Amino acid sequence: MAQTLFYIIVVIIVASYLLERILEYLNMTYWSDKLPQELQGIYDEKEYKRSQDYHKVNTRFGFLTSTISLIAMLLILFLGGFAWLDETVRQWSTHPILMALLFFGILGLAADILSTPFSIYDTFVIEEKFGFNKTTPKTFILDKIKGWFIGAILGGGLLALIVWIYQSTGSWFWVIAWGAIALFTIFLTMFYSTLIVPLFNKQTPLEEGDLRKSIENFASKVGFKLQNIFVIDGSKRSTKANAYFSGLGSKKRIVLFDTLINEHTVKELVAVLAHEIGHYKKKHTTVNVVVSLAQTGLMLFILSWFISDPVLSKALGAEVGSFHMGILAFGLLYSPLSTLLGILMNIMSRKHEYQADAFAAKNYEAQPLQDALKKLSVKNLSNLRPHPAYVFVHYSHPPLLRRLRALEGEK
């Protein structure tokens, strides 16, 4: 049985890789050397060629990195790398929590170190070549260190808690672990912008002026209690622009990238904020949290059936069963269902984006939102003609042309 599970894991990994290559190939068939008719008025010939070049470079680079990752994973599996690491940590400690922390800590650190050269190339070569990168080597290094610190504290703490719950609660493991993860998720959703973001970026309240006044007037009009409007120094790392809504209840806030403010008119910015407020008014943030927690509950429920069976650990070459090896094997076996659930989440997310756009058009204006979306797409060199299959699997937002057509209907 263990050997059968091993080969199922191998098939899943290879199939996932092949699926991504097929989707990328389909996307490539939509590339064009000339500016397509439907993009005239959005891209000019020069910027369209830059966007095509940008996506070609990223696709080739993605193929290289994913192929190396596939080869590395298959080598680790067939050479018994996970079993070797399991034996190594057992020589240091036999305590279940310490073993799990050491096992996943070493795996995570090794994966991060191996991926760092690719991340450096992506940031300082590709993004630099196309005029996006503003990250300095110092910022890059500090981000790495901070990421390790947060992973150790939050990830390690949550892992230790889950292992303790498993050791202490028996058949009630999945219910209690689900409750713990739910509390952690809600806490992080509420306080992400106040606890995590400041470690990486500076957030300052939007200064008084026409923009703040216009935003406050719109918020008042639609009955949105707005206390926190912040500007984040996104230009510290990239010229790309964005805006987002975060938090729940009294902790909710709207965050604008400084790069967004610099590139858009007041009306366009209010339209973008109207879209973000639309997410709140339509309760999308709450729905996303609830659906995400439901998925976590399903995963833990299925996990509870198998985690105590040592066959999971033995599928990866371990001599004896352990929670950390069982979790790793289960995660690899669960990935097809995780991919399917991710696709369903993207379908829901795209629907939410249409609803937020419609809210902004109905309660503010459609035209400035359309103008803002066009500017953002051109500024970020977005692929405006993705293949429908690629959109179906990967896109959390509808492609620009579909959003523009939907907004036309709202006018």
Q: What is the pLDDT of residues 145-162, one digit of tens each?
A: 999 999 999 999 999 999
The reported pLDDT for the residue numbered 241 is 78
- Whole-number Cα distances in Å, 313 to 5, 72, 80, 81, 300: 10, 20, 12, 13, 17
Q: Which of 122, 127, 268, 276 is catalytic?
A: 276
276 is known as an active-site residue:
yes
357 is known as an active-site residue:
yes
Ranges of residues in the chain with a pLDDT under 70 are 247-251, 410-411
CA proximity to 197, closest of 138, 270, 251: 251
- DSSP annotation of 124: I
The reported pLDDT for the residue numbered 130 is 92
Q: What are the residue ranges spanned by the domains of the chain?
A: 2-199+282-410
DSSP 126-170: IHHHTT-B---HHHHHHHHHHHHHHIIIIIHHHHHHHHHHHHHHG
- Write the pLDDT tens digit of every residue in 277-313: 898 889 888 898 899 999 999 999 998 888 888 888 8
d(CA 324, CA 326): 5
| 133: three-class secondary structure by DSSP | strand
The reported pLDDT for the residue numbered 242 is 79
Q: What is the pTM of this model?
A: 0.88
Q: Which of 357, 365, 371, 410 is catalytic?
A: 357
